[in-house]
Amino acid sequence: MEIMSVFSLFFCTVLSSVMLSLGIPNEFLLEGSALMGIFSLAPLYISLKEAPSFKTAGILCGTHIALVHLFSSFWLANFKDFAVFTLGASSIAYFILGIPVGWVLFTVLRSKNPARPFAFAACWVCWEWLKSTGFLAYPWGILPMTSRQMDLFIQTADITGIWGISFMFSAVSAFAAEFLYQRKPETETFSSGSGTGKKEMFPGLLLLFFLFTAGCGYGLYTIHTLPAPETSFTASVIQQNSDPWGNDGGVAKSLTDIQNLTRKAVAELKKTTGRKPDIVLWSESSLPYAYNINRNRYKRFPPGDDFSSFMKEINTPLFTGSPYIETGNGKEKAYNAVILVNPDGTIEDWYAKMQLVPFAEYIPFTEYKPVSMFFDALIGFSSGWEPGSKKTLFNIMVKDETGATAAIPFTAPICFEDAFPRITAGLHKEGGKVLINLTNDSWSKTASAEYQHFTTAFFRAIELRTTLIRSTNGGFTSVISPSGEILYSLPIFEEAFLNAEIPVYPHFVTFYAAFGDWFVLMAAVCAVSAVISVFKTAGKNFAGRRRL
């Protein structure tokens, strides 16, 4: 069989990127498709296996990764003045980053070892981890985002994190490609394809089936043995469906709307249960002016319905997003923060976002004057939020049946942070029994963006076996159980609220929370070993031919 044409190679590559993009929540399939996701890398596997050179493999893989980013994250173009970076520059960057990924995958696919599909999967796990880690990380467009419908298997996330899911999905794609398309070797050179047949691949397929079945069995066992909630609290979660980034008139209207919605929520709860909520939850940035230095302003704002009087009226603690300003040593630091406000208007505690959105909430390397001058000239400014450093443990005070008051601790990753296992696990290990995430995604203006963020965050509940509450201004506002069940939710892009009885489970540290990305380390060892093995074999073959 002849080597595939350049057109065929690129067709397979584009097909793979389309399949992965359709597996991720999108405008056609808001829930995404696990079936698309689990087989999405098969065409890419074939194209890389048939690539005639490192150069071609690098271009193919770079094209695939860039297209998935464009197809699945097109809504980044709505990120106002930053679209040139969030979508344009990032797509170019992913193409460039994809080239060395293609080289590595091309190398492991030269192996004659029938375990090469597992080596391919190990390499892919390493790539998705690298993409999702660090200060420039963007954990979107990855295989686990296609898996939410596989309720049983994804329970393994409390052991392997999402990386075990990434490994299984990419391995299924690899074995599917091997069994769908095999070509006979033309030579014994390093650059030739492998001649391993289907019979030799069968033990690996049996192992894959065993791993998948064992994962589903673990999921079934885990779901049915989760501990019962030890207590609960009532939260009024408000989704105002307005953009807090508007002008001053828009800001005032947004705050007035959310206050009125809160009144409705509190009144409805009072009518149905005879009591008020234990806490009210707003979204990120709902108080647009830094509350800690603008309390006097909020005694007059919004006009005609000032915030300070509103807080006394509802007489309930409020957890909301607001900038936080620190001053000292002649310097001022501004943080994207969340604050717990008491009914009397005092701040109980606050937490500042640690994982900031690059080129949106902060601009990297602006401590160097040429960089800051470049961005000042390009977009008119070069400063942004300061990253936070402290891990805050908040408390919700709840009265039990006897009238005694008990504290329910919670932690609060902000918006983008709920996509990062390392951030949420680090916060959770402080002792929180609930995760509360405040998000502002209204700028995206697309349903798929809301569902993608929800899907990315959803795994934190399973990884940590804790309840996750997402309070957003546009969607997807929801309450997720430790098994991944959606307990409550609101329609996206609608002005609405929900009064939810939130189950609180005993705090414990899961295997994943304790040991972190151990699975990625194992995958990296396997990937490096596979690459070394291929080069060693190639060297021996070359030496043998020289002796002949």
| Residue for token pair 């989704």 | 239
More confident site: 356 or 223: 223
The two three-digit tokens of residue 284, written as one number: 């990120």
- For residue 162, give the amino acid letter: I
Among candidate residues 61, 123, 131, 353, the one labeled active-site is 353
SS3 at position 231: strand
Q: State the average pLDDT over residues 156-175.
A: 98
SS3 at position 348: strand
Q: Is the pLDDT of residue 197 over 70?
A: no
More confident site: 200 or 349: 349
Cα(186)–Cα(173) distance, integer angstroms: 25
Q: Is the pLDDT of residue 246 over 80?
A: no
Q: What is the dihedral of CA 159, 160, 165, 168, to 10 degrees?
A: -110
Whole-Å CA distances, 541 to 191, 534, 545:
12, 11, 6
Confidence at residue 217, expressed as pLDDT on a 0 to 100 scale: 98
Q: Kindly indicate the confidence band of residue 414, based on its pLDDT and cuts at 50, 70 and 90.
A: very high
Q: Kindly indicate the confidence band of residue 201, based on its pLDDT and cuts at 50, 70 and 90.
A: confident
Q: Which of 257, 39, 44 is nearest to 168 (CA)?
A: 39
Q: Percent of the chain having pLDDT more than 90? A: 74
Is-catalytic flag, 415? yes
Cis ω for the linkage preceding 416 (within 30 of 0): no
Worst-scoring range by mean pLDDT, 72-81, 331-340, 346-355?
A: 72-81
Worst-scoring range by mean pLDDT, 143-152, 181-190, 308-317, 414-423?
A: 181-190
Q: Kindly indicate the confidence band of residue 369, based on its pLDDT and cuts at 50, 70 and 90.
A: low
Among candidate residues 12, 61, 126, 415, the one labeled active-site is 415
**pLDDT tens digit sequence for 92-142:** 999 999 999 999 999 999 988 899 999 999 999 999 999 999 877 999 999
* CA 224, chain centre distance (Å): 27
Q: State the average pLDDT over residues 219-231.
A: 95
Indicate if the alpha-carbon torsion angle 486, 491, 493, 498 is positive or negative.
negative
Distant-in-sequence, close-in-space partners of 13: CB < 8 Å, separation ≥ 6: 43, 44, 47, 60, 61, 63, 64, 67
Partners of residue 231 on adjacent β-strands:
504
Among candidate residues 50, 128, 178, 284, the one labeled active-site is 284
- Angle (nearest 5°) at CA 448 between 447 and 453: 105
Confidence at residue 194, expressed as pLDDT on a 0 to 100 scale: 46
Whole-Å CA distances, 339 to 319, 348, 412:
6, 7, 10
Q: State the DSSP string of 368-431.
A: SHHHHHHHHHHHS----PPPP-----EEEEEE-TTS-EEEEEEE--BGGGGG-HHHHHHHHTTT
Confidence at residue 384, expressed as pLDDT on a 0 to 100 scale: 72
Cα(156)–Cα(371) distance, integer angstroms: 44
Q: State the average pLDDT over residues 152-180.
A: 96
Confidence at residue 238, expressed as pLDDT on a 0 to 100 scale: 97
Tell me the whole-structure pTM to 2 decimals: 0.91
